[in-house]
Structure formats: C-alpha cells, structure tokens
Amino acid sequence: MTASYKRKMKTMETFESIYRAYFTDVYRYCLKLCGSADEAEELTAETFLKALQCLDSYRGACELRVWLCQIAKNKYISEQRKRKTEPLSDAIESPAPSPEAEAVRRDEAERVSEAAHRLDEPYKEVFLLRVYGEMPFEKIGKLFQKTANWACVTFHRAKAKIKAELEETT
C-alpha cells in the first residue's frame, strides 16, 4: 500500500466517524433552514460532500458541528440566491396556490432569516443555532466556551435586534 492510499483510507475513516456523529444535528439544522424534508436531505448530503472535500482545511477554530452547520448555511444561502435569479416559471414547482396564511408565514420566516443573517457575531450564530439547529442553551454556551446564561442572554438580544429591524422595515 502506498502512503497516498493509506492517507485516503484514514481520511475516509475519519469522515465516516464525523458523518455518524453529526448527521442528525446537521439534518435537523437543514430541516429548520429549508422547512422541507426532501430539501433538508439534499442539503445535508451536499453539506457532507463539501465537508469531505474541505476536511483538510478544517483547523479546529470552532467545534466541528458549528463548522458543518456553517457549510450547510452557506450552501442554503447560495441555493436561495440561485432561485431568486431563476425565471419565476422555473421556480414554481406546483401551480396550486398555497393558502394565504402559509404565504404570510413563509414571508415572515424569510424576513426573519434575512434579518438574522445580517446580525453581527456572536448574535447571528447563537440565534441560528438556537432557532434552526434547535440546540439547548447549554450546548450553545459550550460551543462558545461560555455559560448557558450567556447563550440565553445573547439569543434574546439577537431576537430583540431582529424584532427592531423588522419593525423599522414594516
């Protein structure tokens, strides 16, 4: 066996353990971002493919779960930007109109998501982890090497900032 082959096998073993450990967390985060199980599965697969391609560049500056969720978020944002540039006829999957309440809810969710992505760190990341990742404050605090109380306060400040921005634009 060559050294290159051994390195590739070690990388695959490492990646497999990462996939097993974080698949559920990344999928749940993607599901919150997309709102659709099918889209979340696709986004999760794309996230892990990108992670495999970039595994050598991971430097450990943040927890692996955060790094994977960041990849998922970036993939999701890129996909949303592509969809905005598509002709409307290509973007519509179903000709049946959705109920008015669902349209209002989706519009509001999109506005909140856009406002959240404009937040400064750590507010943005704490908000996204809590809302889309459904992480408890204890885990969020540990990710930032802070307390659960810090995570809770940061989350509520992020919500207040988002609410203030939405009220300004309304």
Provide mean pLDDT across the span 83-92.
Answer: 55
- What is the DSSP track for 20-63? HHHHHHHHHHHHHHHS-HHHHHHHHHHHHHHHHHHGGG---SS-
35, 3 Cβ separation under 8 angstroms: no
121, 132 Cβ separation under 8 angstroms: no
Residues in the chain: 170
119 pLDDT more than 50: yes
Q: How far, in Å, CA of 73 to CA of 77, rounded? A: 6
Q: List the domain boundaries for the chain.
A: 1-87, 101-170
The CATH number given to 1-87 is 1.10.1740.10
pTM, entire model: 0.48
The CATH number given to 101-170 is 1.10.10.10
pLDDT of residue 109: 79
